[in-house]
Amino acid sequence: MSLLLRSDITVTLTAANGLHHYYADTVDPYFEGNGGGNNALSRFAERNPIYRIGPLGAGVGLNYKISNALKLDLGYLSNTANNPEDDNGVFNGNYSGLAQLVFETNRFKVGFTYIHAYDNGGNNAPRFAMGGTGTGLANLNPATLAAATTGGLTQAQLSRPVSSNSYGLEASFQLTPQFVLNGWVGKTDARLIGLGAADIWNFALGLALPDFGKKGNLLGIIAGAEPTLRGLNVPGPENFERDFAYHIEGFYKYQMINNISITPGIIWLTSPNQNRDDDDIIIGTIRTTFTF
């Protein structure tokens, strides 16, 4: 639920399953689809993955228009807000907080994003989920990390609380109304509390051609690296590859009528599991979207 407090301030309240990109500007106007079956085919191609760091939870987001060219986004989410037990609640359980400045002119937009998150490591699921994208190592999956370390660390030892700081730079440049470049870089410093630290990177560059062929159509091409673990500092020697997990995607959304579109496309993944020796993965797809 969004509330317009003043002409320059909007507040978004989320009771459950909230994410930061529901209220914050992802600076990706033609690839962003809010997970609703529009624009880009994959979750990675929609936006910088750091916007999905943290729990699906309850919280609040604020958008403050400082001036015509400058905007501030702030937000906080927690999926333990309704649990009064120890190490839970709004501030003591899993949470993530976002602060972002967005500068915009007629044809250019740039965003500077910071997200701090905490996961209490309550089970053996990935302790630090990059929003459903990236390698198992980048998601700090305890089982995957155990296989990547040769110092005798077990899955149980690696399933521990994680505190992270993520930094993003996003930009979009509209050369003409029908030719738009966009891209981002994201870096995450994650601390496996009581054990060590991890360094995670992702980036992408995209080209969007809106109204390609006819009004409402969209041709999009994007290439980049999904979240990849580039550094790991834990006890004992390491045994994993650091190759970037590249993601190349092309799609063409054809707007048949106002409420029906068809989007064929292809996704090419190189260096799966951040290992260039692994076979490439090619995914062909066609999506039909009904909008009501």
pLDDT tens-digit series, residues 31-50: 998 876 889 999 999 999 99
State the pLDDT confidence band at 131, using cuts at 50, 70 and 90: low
Q: What is the pTM of this model?
A: 0.91
With a pLDDT cut of 90, the percent of the chain lying above it is 66
State the pLDDT confidence band at 124, using cuts at 50, 70 and 90: very low
CATH 2.40.160 fits 2-290, yes or no: yes
Mean pLDDT of the chain: 90
Q: Give first-to-last CA distance, the chain, whole Å.
A: 19
State the pLDDT confidence band at 279, using cuts at 50, 70 and 90: very high
CA distances from 16 to 11, 48, 60, 91, 249 (A): 16, 22, 11, 16, 31
DSSP state of 49: G
User: What is the bridge-based pairing of β-strands 70-78 and 9-18?
Assistant: unpaired
Chain centre distance of CA 264: 23
What value does the mean pLDDT take over residues 221-249? 93
Burial of residue 150 (CB within 10 Å: 0-12, 13-18, 19+) is: exposed
DSSP state of 272: G
User: What is the bridge-based pairing of β-strands 260-269 and 245-257?
Assistant: antiparallel
Token duo for residue 139: 């998601």
DSSP state of 92: H
State the pLDDT confidence band at 185, using cuts at 50, 70 and 90: very high
For residues 249, 218, 207 and 138, what is the CA-based torsion angle, rounded to 10 degrees?
A: -40
What value does the mean pLDDT take over residues 274-284? 95
With a pLDDT cut of 70, the percent of the chain lying above it is 92
What value does the mean pLDDT take over residues 108-125? 83
Contact 13, 23 (CB under 8 A): no
Is residue 199 scored above 80 in pLDDT?
Answer: yes
